[in-house]
Amino acid sequence: MATKTKVYTDAEIRKESFKPVAERGYIIEGRKIDGEVQMRQARRYALKPNEIHQLRKEAGGEFPNPFRKGGVYHGAVQALINLGLDKAHTFSAFKAEMKKVMSKIERQGTDAWSLFANRAPKKDAKNPKDLDGRIMQTITVLQRLGGNHKYGLKLAQLKSCIDVLAGKDDQPLYMLHTGFVNYQAVHPTNDLKGHRRKVAKVAKKAKKVAKKVAKKKAPKKTVKKTAKPAAAKA
């Protein structure tokens, strides 16, 4: 009889994640490999109370960025802070500001933006995304507050989250939403969740139908027979 894996509470997982990496237990269920669940260490997604206090102190009245400087999450959040809290910003404006923020940070002999923008896709990636796609994915990742990988928890602890709103023609608008009563009340909005995929499928189908109709309407090519020249008289 197979032994049941203990299910840990969020509080227990968070407590474990605060330990040094070398001391953390393998308590998170990962993927199955050859039929066996691979256990993983708890990853740290939360801030300690004293860290929140220190962040606010260092920010000096401004909204504090809870992510490691130089990383893509830091760049995305800082861009929205610079553009203005609780205001919706277009993708182009957001991308430009994100590039501006990350280009000023030196990393590995270059800058943080160049490392991110020129990063090669994973070898096993089935549908590798372009730069814009990876930026959009970064935002949706930062909205995660459920499961074992709560990437948006640090923002939630600061009573905030990133909202994805639908702009003109369903173009994405990004907003750093602040001022929630407490972190339990934080619920990121994504007006475009699943919608873009649906729109893309409909557009693809319409294009296929239009191509089929055009093929039917196209006039058939006729080949004119030319008369053979009469044989010359001897």
The C-alpha atoms of residue 18 and residue 47 are separated, in whole angstroms, by: 9
Q: Which residues of 57-71 are buried (b: 16+ CB within 10 A; e: fewer)?
A: eeeeeebbbbbeebb
CA distance 40 to 33: 13
Query: Which pTM value belongs to this model?
Result: 0.78
Lowest mean pLDDT, pick from 40-49, 177-186, 220-229? 220-229
Kindly tell me if the per-residue pLDDT of 95 is higher than 70.
yes
Q: What is the mean pLDDT of the chain?
A: 85
List, for residues 185-218, the tens digit of each pLDDT value. 999 999 998 764 444 444 455 456 556 655 655 5
Flag whether pLDDT at 98 surpasses 70. Answer: yes
Predicted pLDDT of residue 141 = 97
Q: How far apart are CA 71 and CA 48, in angstroms?
A: 20
Confidence band (pLDDT; 50, 70, 90) for 148?
confident
Q: Is the pLDDT assigned to residue 44 strictly greater than 80?
A: yes
Q: Are 118 and 104 within 8 A, CB to CB?
A: no
Provide the token pair at 128.
Answer: 């590798």
Residue pair 154/45 in contact by the 8 Å Cβ criterion: yes
Dihedral in degrees, nearest 10, Cα atoms 143, 105, 135, 129: -130
Q: What is the 3 state secondary structure string of the chain?
A: CCCCCCCCCHHHHHHHHCCCHHHCCEEEEEEEECCEEEEEECCCCCCCHHHHHHHHHHHCCCCCCCCCCCCHHHHHHHHHHHHCCCCCEEHHHHHHHHHHHHHCCEECCEEHHHHHHCCCCCCCCCCCCCHHHHHHHHHHHCCCCCCCCCCCHHHHHCCCEEEEEECHHHCEEEEEECCCCCHHHCCCCECCCCHHHHHHHHHHHHHHHHHHHHHHHCCCCCCCCCCCCCCCCC
**Does residue 105 carry a pLDDT above 60?**
yes
Whether the pLDDT of residue 34 is over 90: the answer is no
In the predicted model, is pLDDT for residue 1 greater than 50? no
Query: Is pLDDT at 231 greater than 60 in this prediction?
Result: no
Proportion of the chain above pLDDT 90, given as a percent: 63
**Contact of 156 with 186, CB cutoff 8 Å:** yes
**Tokens 């459920």, located at residue:** 146
Task: Find the largest Cα–Cα distance for the chain.
Answer: 114
Chain segment 133-145, per-residue pLDDT in tens: 999 999 999 999 9
Other Cβ atoms less than 10 A from the Cβ of 78: the count is: 21
Q: Are 43 and 149 in contact (CB under 8 A)?
A: yes
Residue 229 has pLDDT above 60, yes or no: no
